[in-house]
Structures are given as structure tokens and as C-alpha cells.
Structure 1
């Protein structure tokens, strides 16, 4: 038994069907179980936790931002762990770390009292510092490592059918994430915020055991190949040969790495900032709260439709076309953001961020193994994930700064248009490195 499968009773080579489909289900679940470390999983805890700890909304938000920025600095290292130790161990310890962080979050009030008494210091800096450290653990292990390891594992087990399986995974994740506020809110109302975090931690502990048994690093370690071709003749006929396995240093030397990475980071920046300030953004243009909240459902429909169709087609089409279409979506969103005061502004905004979100789901999964191979996928995607997380951390503050300085959010639209113009020009020669 290989060391990568040690202590596991599951043998993929004995499966009656291609084990990659088990990987698809478990890897998708792994991304779903990262929700407690995602913005959507933390946001519902904001009001009860900040009130209990005596923090203002601004202080709590800054703790979240700083913790997220620090986590972005370490995600690249986690990618190297993925390449060295594989998806199984990396995801297992990420799930354990996330569970530990959730338990600690549930005791944050007791920890605050303890530190204040020990230091004889009654200051908001105590809970602020504690939550900053806890947010670092949540964001690093949840949004960062567990998500990255689970997604990369799925991509490694498939080659010619990456787009098709990513379509299935993306649909499941979209519906799972969109429904998560309902059951998280139920847990908070039934068991208070402390109990909700503890129940989520217990769920992560249980899932970590499933990771240890069912996650597998590469099909080749078990005498299998990507997509499940059955014999050498089929292998020669069906498996795409990767001409070069790029290291992170080599990947960073290509134009494609930076143009695709910057576009994915812009999507994270724009969506996070819009979500965080949506009520204020719409109010500044004279719209009620109901109009602000209503944009997300049609935007999600557009994103799911785009990701489903173009994930499937990605097995046959150039990803450079996808990059240009994503930039086009970003342009629509930025122009819609600028023109919110006009009747056509909201439809443009919805279409734009929906198109961007749809192509984000495709390119963030498909581009990196296709462009750079599988051997150093963790280090490469870890670096990209660091850019994405950093962009999401900075977005709320930059949006807020623009509003405070110019008494309007419209300047964000100008910044977005200028940045996307730069990415468009840079992408003209961002060809596949293969």
C-alpha cells in the first residue's frame, strides 16, 4: 500500500466504476464544507458576535479584513504542501484546522474575559486581536486550503472531461452556497452563535474522517489514469499528453498566469465589494433596500447558466475566448455600476457580474491544469488563490474609501473600467503556455 493511501480502507483500483466520480462528489462536498470559512458563512455571525464582544461594526470588519489579508500571504505555502503531501493530507489537516478555529470562535467571549483579567486591560483591542487571529485561521483553512485542495483533486482525476465534471461541481456548489444562509441562520436562532459555531465544528470533524478515507491524490497512484480509460490502447488514444509540467517560477514567467490571475482577482474584488456595500450603493442612487437585495438572484441564474454551458464547452474551446468574455462581463458590470441612476444600469450590472461569476467558475478550475500541468498545481493555484483572497479582503475598504472621499461609489466604476482595459490589452498575447 502506498504511503498516500496509508490507514485508508478504500482502494480505488477495486471500485466497480471509475473512482474519479467518487472524487467528484467528495471534492464538491469539500468545497461546500468550507462555507464556515467563506464570507457567506461568516457574515451572519457579524451582528451577534460583535455585540457580544463589544466591538463596533467597523472594528469587527477591520479584524476580518486584516485576518483575511494575513491568510492570503500563507496560501501559497499551502499550495506547496499540496504538491508535496497530496490532496488527502492537505485537506484533512485543513478541515481539522477549520474545526478547531470554529471551536475557538465559539469561545471567543470567554477568551476575551480571560485575557482582559490576566492583563488587567479593559480595551476593545483585546477582542479585536482575538478575532483577527481567529479570522486568519478561518480564512486560511476554509476559503484557502480546503477549497484549493478539494478543487485541485477533482481536476487531477480528470483530463479530457474536466469541463464536464466541473460543470456538475459548479452547479452543486452554486445551489449549496446560495442556500447556506438559510440553515446557518436557523442554527444561530436555535442554538445562539456559540452553539452554531460548535455544531459546524463537529460537522467538520466528521467530514475530516471522510476526507481521510475517500480523498485520493492521483489516479496513477492506484493503477488508474485520468477519466478512467481502461487499457493502454485507450490511454494512448484518449488521454491528452501534457507537453510540459511548469513549476511556479516558470508559470509566473508567462503572461497567461498574470492576466488570468488578475481577472479572477478582479471578479473577487468587485463581487465582494458590491455584496458588502450593496444597500449603501443603491441608497446613494435613490433605490430602496429591496431593489438592492433583489439583484443577486438573477445574477446567480446568469452565473449558473454561463458556468454550466461553458464548462461543458471548455473541453473543446480555447480558454482565451473565455478570458475575453469574462473581461466583457466585467466591463458591463463596471458600466452598469456607473449608470445605476439610469433605467438600464441595473440590468447591465446584473448581466455583468453574472457573466463574470460564471466564467470565474470555469477558468479558476480549468485554466491552471490545462496551461501548466498537474505536478505543481498546488503551488500555482495557491499563488492565484492568494491574489483572489487579497482582492476580496481589500474590496470593502476601497469601496468605503471611495464613498467617503468622493461622496459617491461611482469612482469604483471608473477604476474597474480602467483596470479591465489594462487586462484586455495585456491579454491579447496571453496565449496558452502549452
Structure 2
């Protein structure tokens, strides 16, 4: 008898994907907007903020994301995905409003940390919900679609920041980040379903059946083994047992190196390009190309991953980033540079999105949310160290080796994914045929 099987979903309830897109767009704005208000903070005479102070305040949000992701690993199975997701949006929205009224740099840093906690707990929860309510043949694509919300939120932050921050100051930018919650939170409360896996794990079978009937999906099969994991900490312990320990460590290491390159490149790519001989304006434009490449590339790569498996696509994306970053050291023509930077975007930000979908598809349904929380939480350390790593590269290496220094961690990330033990990373037609998914791990 199989110990656990996942629910077979033939079509994705659109409301889950739409709501995930909206909350990730709000999260994207709230995280990325900080860079647009730094000049206003530095010229705010009442506080006398130094560049170092501004950097420390910015890093607190990333640190908060680490704690938020780890907290979600436990709370998702104690409180439910729905409550954690709504609570996360409330937390970072209230923190944004509080940041708008901050009375000192210290208070602003504390509120930015809380923004990070909310954003960090939102990410694994949203991914888990999207994957659970997606057919196996569209898990990668639906995750990519949802994460385009983060990019759109960042674009909105950049566009608003160029007008609002210089003319009205940083406080209005923070307040704007909180206002959409007045609409989105009621929408979540009224329309977001609870995870069917969570309801079944908690013995709320009637509610699970009504939810499945309303959405037109089938129920997951939950056994006593799975139900026993519903206490939160027990779920986390299951991820570090001999059966799952290797995969959890490998995923965490891959995310660490992915975020190391991602945050380092986003912080230092313009400086790298300037040192390579490109003008300031074109160097800033390359940062836009990096993010466009990540979004477009992920939307193109995710259906391929859904068809042939996530592992080969992620390895190829990692190696693409490593190769393109190394080739930039050769100072090719501008057109080639644009193509290489776009590939690097897919291999960094795009790879992280694909890994999110891979983690969510790799583990059994009852471990999915906790696994995403642990992997994203531990891997977030790479995001914290990325800007510092980039600063060391800029200061200590020659211009050509600076690009190689960013390529090496991407190659290491590819190696960790290559070593991933086999589970169910197989084409959907075979995945549907398996009675017991655990037999194919």
C-alpha cells in the first residue's frame, strides 16, 4: 500500500494563480523599492544617513527573509498555508506603513526587517500553493507565471521611484507599498482556498472534500504516516532524516550559490560593466537586460522543464550563466554582450524560480511547504553574502577575473543539482502513471 500520493489536478484553479501573482507583485514592490529611496534617505537632513547606514538598513530586509522562510517551514503545517500567506501579506504591509512613519534610521531598519520576515514567509507558501493547485504538466510554467509578479512589482517600484522619491521623499514610497493590502487581503480572505493536503493532514476531511468539489479537483490521499507529520516541527524533522537529508542539503546548497550570484550580480553588474569599459548609461541598461532575460527566459524554459524534467533544465541554466559571465570577460561586441547578459539573467533569477518549482515537485505533498521554507531559508544566506562577495571581487580582482568570480559559483550550483538523487523528476505522462510516487524517487 502506498504511504502517500499527491492529488491529481487536471486543471489549475485560476484564482490561486491570480492571487499568488498579486501577492508576489506586492512583495516585489516592497522589497525592490528600497533601492529607489536610498538617494532620498542620504539627503534627508533630519537623520544624516551615511551610505554605510543605508546599506545596513537594506541588508536587514534580506536577513528578515531568512527568518521568515524558516518560520514558514514550521508554521505552514501548524496554521495552514492560507493563514500563513494572509498573515505574511499583513505583516509586510503593516511594516511598510510603519516604515513610512519611522522616526529614526534604527526604526526604519527594524521595520524593513519585518518586511523581510513577511516576504520570506510568503515566498515558500505561495510556491507551495501554486504547485499544489497546478497539474503536473504545468507546475514549472505556473510557478514562472506567478513569479513574474515579483518582476512587475520591481518595475512599478522603479517607475514610481524615479518620480515620487525625488519630489515627495521616501515616506510616500513606503506608504504606497502598504495601500494595495487594503484590497488584496480581503480578496485573499474571501477567495483563497486552503491547501487540501493541510486540511487532510489535520483531519478536516469534510472541508477538504467541499473545497475540492468547489474547485473541481481531486483530493490527495493522506495516510496516518502523513497525518502524523502535521505538527510542524515533525515535518521539519522528516526533512533531515536519512531519506531526505541529502536532497535537502543539495537543494539548500544550490539555492545558496544561486542567490550568491543573483544578489551579487544585481548589486555589482553595473560596476563590473563600467570597469570593463562600458559607459554608465549602458551599464545600467544591462541591469534591465539581466532582469528581462530572467523573466522571458524562465517563461520559455519552464514548459520544457515540465516536459523533460527540472534537473536538466536547471543544470543547463546554471551552466549558461557560468558560461555567459565568463565570456563577458572577453569584451565581445555590444550585441553579443546583451545576449550574454540576458542568458545570465535566466541562469540566476530564472534558475531560482525553476529551483522553487523543482523543490515543490520533488518532495511528497505533505513535506512540500516545509521543504520550500527550509531550502529558501538556508539558501537565503547566499543572498545576504552576495553583495559583500561582489564588493570583495571588485576590490581584489582584475576586471577579467571579476566576471569569472561570478561564473564559478554558478558552475558549483550546477554540480549540486546534478548530484540530486532521483525522485519523480520524470515526464508528466509517466508521473501520472505511477501509483506510488515514492517508488520513483
2:154 aligned to which of 155, 177, 184? 177
1:35 aligned to which of 28, 34, 41? 28
Deviation readout 1:56-93 (Å, 9 max, x if unpaired): 11221023224523541442122211222122211222
Equivalent-residue separation in structure 2 for 1:300 and 1:378 (angstroms): 27
Equivalent-residue separation in structure 1 for 2:353 and 2:375 (angstroms): 14
Matched, 1:317 2:311: no
Q: Superposition pairs for residues 98-117 of structure 1, below 5 Å?
A: 98-108=92-102, 111-112=103-104
Matched, 1:57 2:51: yes
Equivalent-residue separation in structure 1 for 2:416 and 2:379 (angstroms): 19
Q: Superposition pairs for residues 191-340 of structure 1, below 5 Å?
A: 191-219=168-196, 221-225=208-212, 247-252=235-240, 253-340=244-331
**Alpha-carbon deviation of 1:176?**
4.6
Q: Please say if residues 66 and 393 of structure 1, whose CA atoms lie closer than 8 Å, have aligned partners that are also in contact.
A: no
**Alpha-carbon deviation of 1:372?**
0.6
Equivalent-residue separation in structure 2 for 1:348 and 1:226 (angstroms): 48
Q: Relative to 1, partners in 2 of residues 1:387 and 1:338: Cα closer, same or farther, differing over 3 Å? A: farther
Please say which of residues 317-326 and 332-341 is displaced more in the overlay: 332-341
The DSSP-based 3-state class of the residue aligned with 1:315 is helix
Matched, 1:20 2:7: no
Matched, 1:92 2:106: no
**Alpha-carbon deviation of 1:131?**
3.2
Deviation readout 1:142-163 (Å, 9 max, x if unpaired): 2x12233222211121242323
Deviation readout 1:86-143 (Å, 9 max, x if unpaired): 22211222122112211221122xx23xxxxxxxxxxxxxx2x33332221111112x
The alignment's C-alpha RMSD in Å is 3.3
The DSSP-based 3-state class of the residue aligned with 2:114 is helix
Aligned twin of 1:370: 361
Aligned twin of 1:431: 421
Structure 2 gaps, min length 5: 1-9, 198-207, 230-234, 424-440
Equivalent-residue separation in structure 2 for 1:30 and 1:404 (angstroms): 38
Aligned twin of 1:353: 345
Q: Please say if residues 336 and 347 of structure 1, whose CA atoms lie closer than 8 Å, have aligned partners that are also in contact.
A: no
Please say which of residues 201-210 and 95-104 is displaced more in the overlay: 201-210
Q: Please say if residues 333 and 353 of structure 1, whose CA atoms lie closer than 8 Å, have aligned partners that are also in contact.
A: no
Deviation readout 1:363-417 (Å, 9 max, x if unpaired): 31x21222112213222111222234322222112211232334x4554444444
Equivalent-residue separation in structure 2 for 1:306 and 1:257 (angstroms): 26
Equivalent-residue separation in structure 2 for 1:316 and 1:228 (angstroms): 25
Deviation readout 1:165-189 (Å, 9 max, x if unpaired): 3343344554453344113444435
Matched, 1:399 2:375: no
Q: Relative to 1, partners in 2 of residues 1:335 and 1:255: Cα closer, same or farther, differing over 3 Å? A: farther
Equivalent-residue separation in structure 2 for 1:23 and 1:92 (angstroms): 13
Q: Relative to 1, partners in 2 of residues 1:135 and 1:416: Cα closer, same or farther, differing over 3 Å? A: same
TM-score by length of 2: 0.77
Deviation readout 1:290-346 (Å, 9 max, x if unpaired): 221222344344333332233223332122212211221221243035334777566
Aligned twin of 1:44: 36
Q: Please say if residues 75 and 140 of structure 1, whose CA atoms lie closer than 8 Å, have aligned partners that are also in contact.
A: yes
Number of corresponding residues? 390
Please say which of residues 47-56 and 257-266 is displaced more in the overlay: 257-266
Q: Relative to 1, partners in 2 of residues 1:316 and 1:229: Cα closer, same or farther, differing over 3 Å? A: farther
The DSSP-based 3-state class of the residue aligned with 1:153 is helix
